[in-house]
Structure 1
Amino acid sequence: MTTNGFGNDCLADVRVLDMTQFEAGPSCTETLAWLGAEVVKVENPKGGDPGRALGGAAGVDDPYFLNFNANKKSIAVNLKDPRGLQLVKDLATKADVMVENFAPGAIERLGLGAGVIRALNPSIIYCQVKGFGEGSPYEKNLAFDMIAQACSGIMSTTGERDGRPLKPGPSLGDTGTGMLLAISILGALFRRVRTGQGEHLQVAMQDAMLHYMRIAFSYQARTGKAAPRAADSSVSGGNPPMGTFPCKGGGPNDYVYIYTSRANPEHWRRLLAVIGREDLIGDPRYDSPSARSERPGEVNDMIAAWTRRHDKHEAMDIIGAAGIPAGAVLDTLELHNDPTFEQRGIMQTIDHPAAGPFKMVGWPVRFSGRPPPVHPAPLLGADTDEVLAHWLGLPAEAVSGLRSDTIIG
């Protein structure tokens, strides 16, 4: 593969056997594909990854599937037939990485567990994503993103201070877990270059989410109490003004987030100048974080009186230009329609053979100024013939026979 400097040749010649579905596993393997690995997704000929049909139009893969399976190939194999199972074992002998996120125990019952595959290919990086870890009292339980968030402390720290626990919008339990696994795979591959050593990587979604809760655990260690819900503030604590402030327009997301750091007293003084209250600079009632914490209502009211006279974009522009951290609360449609993301390659428009043009978020890290290019998610089984020929050397007549016997689709 010719080096193009865009990152999609970093994992050239790395083969990934992708036996994942929904999001946690696919987000991991999609990352490897964006970095140049040849990722072959093994799917059931009758429907494939369930994510393909999540509310989408008949015969057209759902946007959910398109977002998590870009840059991959698809092979449709009947795993209920011994010959189909043997095909997957043969593919595993040619793979550098295998990733699965079946229900607990399912991959072992199929005969494709770590012991079997690593015996066939000792240098393979064999990876598993589950809801709960080995040794957990819940290791046999099924889990999705929101279950991992509930069981990891994330929901306990999300929501209004006196309200019920809430699930954050991002799918941290799924994609967050996938990213940690992808990083670990890269580490295992790097070591394998030196030693030839394979690996068995296991990550539980609940365990992975603890990684994202380290600030909350720091609070708990410091206070001896469970980290609380912090509304629009921070679990680690803060001082007013810190949070969302209403802006002109009055819509559900017409807010700007303003943050004045305890570590930088200039934030507060600059903000007073922005809102025209220079008279309060040096006033002992407000000059220190502790003093402002004693009268949060007064502080927040004077900031809100200013933000209500500006829309959220104006507020962000003015406050940010003054050297104060601030951010407009942007919804997904606003972000989708912002041309700068596409200009920078952070969002890219693909031309899917069935869904047509589709704008999606790609990999955010730039390589020599540009993120890796995004290619459409594959149609079910679209690459079956190519993969069997390229990986296993099967002649066309053998592939045709497998199709006639419904071993492949």
Structure 2
Amino acid sequence: MAVRKSVKKSKTKAKAKSKAASKKVVKLAKKPAAKAKAKPGSNGLPKPSSKPFGQAGKALDGVKILDFTHVQSGPTCTQLLAYMGADVIKVERPGVGDITRTQLRDVKGQDSLYFTMLNANKRSITIDSKHAKGKEILERLIKHCDVLVENFAPGALDRMGLTWDYIHKTNPQMIVASVKGFGPGPYEDCKVYENIAQCAGGAASTTGFREGPPLVTGAQIGDSGTGLHLAWGIVCALYQRTRTGRGQKVLASMQDGVLNLARVKLRDQQRLAHGPLTEYSQYGEGIAFGQATPRAGNDSGGGQPGWILKCKGWETDPDAYIYFITQAPVWGPICDLIGRPEWKTDPEYATPPARLPKLKAIFNTIEEWTMTMTKFEVMEKCNAVDIPVGPILSMKEIGEEQSLRDTGTVVEVDHPGRGKYLTVGNPVKFSDSITEVKRSPLLGEHTEEILTKVLGYSAKELAEIKTSGAITAPEKPAKAA
């Protein structure tokens, strides 16, 4: 019996221990499952700012950009980032700087508009990247910054010792963003400029008139267009870094950038396999299509027939023209305006398919009407009945357009050397990140400020750096008497 009692007691104790243990486990299991109280700014977002819109800082405040760019594509990218609040530190060669400071110079001894209009809101530091002390400064900048942007020729950054492996080891969170002419492939080592990019990206072969040669466009879709693409890529990489904690390489090739903007022509290339491109004027003229997307003059690329027409004064004013689209929903008002109301019901003109073979004659008739008025008078009459038209605006007219000044699209900037000039502001408008356009920096204007306030060099160290020649141009030998 004693044995049985002992076993019974031990079983009872074991059950009690097991029960207590299970309770403990249950308690431990319940803690992580406790539901958090809902708070403002949930889903990983901070609590909404109490500051008024436009006074809570800029979109990219705190982002630090190490800018090795020059000429146009790279500076376009970094200027856009600077407009959004990023601290862009432009690295330049002592005594020389960005080559565009002197290219197309219109005011003697001053930075050219080519430079000032692509480098607003930046700081300039001069560094000799071949100097030992200069390399030390660059290393500190790499550790300090979030993004390095460059548009050197292929391999140039590596030859400077700034390989991806070195940069990633020095700062694993740094994003290295590059503009190149071509992506990886047979042409990746080729040097590329704006017009070459337009030709290689499919824009030139599809621009111009059918009877003439390929043409490049006045808009810098190769350089500035690729800079815009790269800026978008950088912002995406910065966002991804908030989840991964690491940097990455970002590449924007100029050929890719142009093709992205010319995608409708690749669309038309594929449509050719299924028949003629009926919205092209050559279809209406009975001219057969070839194997590649043709040049289409001023035909609209969106499926709505359009053409550039003369307006009053075209004989002496090269910009007295208007773009006129014969959109199907407003065909009736078009007929009324040009004095051809019978076309609304005439089977030869009443439907878009019926009009396609006659587009040239139709636009000639519309032009007889537009030539009786200025382009702005035509615009006023057409807008009143919802007909899509657009005046051909000269750069003089754009520079003088008050509405563009009011929106910050065209901005007047005061420069200490060249005086006041116009530049293009931020093309994207934000309600809570207001862009303030500031003048471009003078060569090396912020060198001491960056060395001391950003990188933490002491006054003594700054003096040593100056003496070393790492941030100044070598003295030119005196001319013989």
Deviation at 1:235, TM superposition (A): 4.3
For 1:370 and 1:159, the matched residues in 2 are separated by: 40
Percent of aligned pairs with the same amino acid = 38
Classify 1:298/1:6 alpha carbon distance in 2 versus 1 (closer, same or farther; 3 Å): farther
Alignment counterpart, residue 314 of structure 1, candidates 374, 377, 398: 377
**1:233 is aligned to 2:299:** yes
Query: Aligned to 1:60, what secondary structure does the other structure show?
Result: coil
Aligned 8 A contact 2:58 2:432 in 1: no
Classify 1:7/1:308 alpha carbon distance in 2 versus 1 (closer, same or farther; 3 Å): farther
Q: Report what 2:115 is aligned to.
A: 65
For 1:23 and 1:152, the matched residues in 2 are separated by: 18
Amino acid at match of 1:189: L
Amino acid at match of 2:166: V
Q: Which shows bigger deviation, 146-155 or 297-306? A: 297-306
Deviation at 1:6, TM superposition (A): 7.4
Deviation at 1:400, TM superposition (A): 2.4
Q: Report what 2:36 is aligned to.
A: none
Which aligned pairs between 1:7-406 and structure 2 lie closer than 5 A? 9-56=58-105, 57-134=107-184, 136-224=185-273, 225-235=291-301, 237-239=303-305, 242-250=306-314, 251-261=317-327, 265-368=328-431, 371-406=434-469
Deviation at 1:234, TM superposition (A): 3.0
Query: Aligned to 2:236, what secondary structure does the other structure show?
Result: helix
For 2:471 and 2:423, the matched residues in 1 are separated by: 30
Deviation at 1:278, TM superposition (A): 1.6
Classify 1:113/1:4 alpha carbon distance in 2 versus 1 (closer, same or farther; 3 Å): farther
Query: Aligned to 2:222, what secondary structure does the other structure show?
Result: helix
Deviation at 1:164, TM superposition (A): 0.3
TM-score by structure 1 length?
A: 0.95
Aligned 8 A contact 1:229 1:235 in 2: no
Q: Report what 2:44 is aligned to.
A: none
Q: Which shows bigger deviation, 337-346 or 376-385? A: 337-346
Amino acid at match of 2:404: F
Amino acid at match of 1:115: D
For 1:63 and 1:106, the matched residues in 2 are separated by: 27
Q: Which shows bigger deviation, 11-20 or 369-378? A: 369-378
Amino acid at match of 2:319: N
Cα deviation per residue 1:163-199 (whole Å; 9 max; x = unaligned)? 1000011000011101111111111111112221211
Deviation at 1:367, TM superposition (A): 1.6
For 1:405 and 1:14, the matched residues in 2 are separated by: 30
Aligned 8 A contact 1:12 1:37 in 2: yes
Cα deviation per residue 1:269-315 (whole Å; 9 max; x = unaligned)? 11112222222211111112221121223211210110000011111
Aligned 8 A contact 2:71 2:98 in 1: yes
For 1:23 and 1:8, the matched residues in 2 are separated by: 28
Amino acid at match of 1:197: R
Classify 1:287/1:369 alpha carbon distance in 2 versus 1 (closer, same or farther; 3 Å): farther
Structure 1: stretches of 5+ with no match in the other structure: none
For 2:382 and 2:299, the matched residues in 1 are separated by: 18
Amino acid at match of 2:126: A
TM-score by structure 2 length?
A: 0.81
For 1:384 and 1:130, the matched residues in 2 are separated by: 28
For 1:55 and 1:266, the matched residues in 2 are separated by: 48
Query: Aligned to 1:323, what secondary structure does the other structure show?
Result: coil
Structure number with greater Rg is 2
For 1:266 and 1:31, the matched residues in 2 are separated by: 39
Superposition misfits of 4+ residues, deviation over 6 angstroms: none
Aligned 8 A contact 2:448 2:462 in 1: yes
Cα deviation per residue 1:92-137 (whole Å; 9 max; x = unaligned)? 1111000011111111001012221111101111111111112x21
For 1:133 and 1:394, the matched residues in 2 are separated by: 40
Amino acid at match of 2:64: R
For 2:102 and 2:124, the matched residues in 1 are separated by: 16
For 2:258 and 2:194, the matched residues in 1 are separated by: 10
Classify 1:385/1:144 alpha carbon distance in 2 versus 1 (closer, same or farther; 3 Å): same
Query: What RMSD over aligned residues (CA atoms) do the two structures have, in Å?
Result: 1.8
For 2:348 and 2:104, the matched residues in 1 are separated by: 56
Amino acid at match of 2:61: A
Aligned 8 A contact 1:227 1:235 in 2: no
